[in-house]
Amino acid sequence: MPSLFIKLLKIERNSVVHLHIAQAYTPELVWLASKIKGFCYIAQVHIDIAPSGAFGFLLKAYKPLILKRVLNNARYVIVFTKDQKHAIHQKYNVDLKK
């Protein structure tokens, strides 16, 4: 994982990256590299967990500040159900056409 950002910067501009969103770190690296290099990515949301535990407050800030931006800048967003589609739309304002 430490070399992921360097490898993303080597991707050609006309490439498409399939991003699995299941944890923090990878989504923001792909988003940043796509901004620098100009490639597009498709985000697949596996789960949208609720904040919990001692560090749950970080997730509360991460989602509206970072994850929302990652999802809205994706070319498409893949979800598993219609309910998940509508939840992602409502929570992160992702265009339903994506």
Sheet strands (E) in 1-98: 16-21, 40-45, 76-78
Mean pLDDT on 25-43: 96
Q: What is the mean pLDDT of residues 6-34?
A: 94
The residue that leads in pLDDT, 23 or 32, is 32
Do 71 and 96 touch, CB atoms closer than 8 A? Answer: no
Residue 51's pLDDT is 80
Distance CA 52, CA 74 (A): 27
pLDDT tens digits, residue range 49-75?
888 888 888 888 899 999 999 999 999
- Average pLDDT value for the chain: 93
Confidence of residue 22 (pLDDT cuts 50, 70, 90): confident
Instruction: State how far the Cα of 17 lies from the Cα of 34, in Å rounded to an integer.
Output: 9
pTM of the entire predicted model = 0.90
Per-residue pLDDT at 76: 98
In this structure, how many other beta carbons lie within 10 angstroms of the beta carbon of residue 53?
A: 8
Domains in the chain, ordered, with CATH? 4-92 (3.40.50)
Token code pair at residue 65: 């500040």
Q: Who contacts 13 (Cβ-Cβ below 8 Å, separation ≥6)?
A: 37, 38, 39
